[in-house]
Structure 1
Amino acid sequence: MRLSAWTASAFALVLMVLASPALADRPGFSSPSGNITCYLDDHWQTPLPLNQREMVCLIFEANWTLPEYYGDDDPTCDLDRTRTLILPPDGPAREQWTCHGDVFWPIHGAIGYGSDWSVTTFQCQMAQTGVTCQNARGNGFSVRRAARSLY
């Protein structure tokens, strides 16, 4: 049975609405353009308390490259790849490719330019020049479509 494009879209929207209470356990935000999505990873297999979770930011379109190392132990990824920045609660940021199939990333509301977002020990700022996040130890990153900087 084939569904029309409208029916399939409506069905996907219903699923997202029904799943939205789970987002309360996965706080995050998106850039106004939707190009950057950040959230606290809950490690689906073994959920962690909020204060032990890593901040994960997915960058869907960028003009910079990452090394060939995929970061998720799949050197032959033949699926989609997304640039990912990861910031642990108490250490330096790292970058990697994330290899994935057709998945639904966490959907969070966009925060406006000039806004701040914080949860547990993470603090992020949204600017027209990109997103900057850091943890309580001062480690972090700045990211935008044109470049990224880890510190």
Structure 2
Amino acid sequence: MRRRGSPSTNEPDAATDLVGFTSPSGNVGCIIDSPTRCDTSERDWTPPPLPADREFDYGRAISLSGGEEAAFVCAGDTTLGGGKPLQYGQSVSLGSMQCDSAESDVTCRETQT
């Protein structure tokens, strides 16, 4: 996944329609695009079993695309460090996708169906 745009204000760059941010702790980094993807540097969960066709790292990246359930994905790149911190209690959105930052987690969801 390429990093595009300028996330300095956590607002979409009109030329690229992409928003990148990190949690204030730096543990979670997300890029809102199609699909939206968030990566973690540390986790306290166990991902589902490793897919047989795994090509890259697995269990640290979660992808969410309109109308589909979130899923763990294999990734050879990262969304960590892809944008400015989204402070706890703040939200950012692009199109129908909204991500909320809290001390306990980052939650991304579709606001329209």
1:62 is aligned to 2:43: yes
| Counterparts of residues 2-151 of structure 1 (less than 5 Å) | 22-23=4-5, 24=13, 25=16, 26-41=18-33, 53-70=34-51, 74-75=53-54, 77=55, 80-89=57-66, 91-100=67-76, 103=77, 105=79, 107-137=82-112
CA contact (8 A) 1:56 1:85 kept: yes
TM-score normalised by structure 2 residue count = 0.70
1:99/1:87 Cα in 2 relative to 1: closer, same or farther (>3 Å)?
closer
CA RMSD of aligned residues (A): 2.7
Unmatched runs of 5 consecutive residues or more in structure 1: 1-18, 42-52, 139-151
Q: Which amino acid aligns with 2:101?
A: M
Q: Which amino acid aligns with 1:86?
A: S
State the structure with bigger RCO (CA 8 A, min sep 6), 1 or 2: 2
Size of the alignment, in residue pairs? 101
Quote the Cα distance in structure 1 between the aligned partners of 2:86 and 2:38.
Answer: 14
* Higher helix fraction (1 or 2): 1
CA contact (8 A) 1:117 1:123 kept: yes
Q: Secondary structure at the match of 1:69?
A: coil
1:54/1:96 Cα in 2 relative to 1: closer, same or farther (>3 Å)?
same
- State the Cα deviation string for residues 33-87 of structure 1 (Å, max 9, x = none): 111111134xxxxxxxxxxx111111221011112234xx733x5x644522221
Question: Of the two, which has the highest radius of gyration?
Answer: 1
Q: Secondary structure at the match of 1:65?
A: coil
1:84/1:33 Cα in 2 relative to 1: closer, same or farther (>3 Å)?
same
CA contact (8 A) 1:85 1:93 kept: no
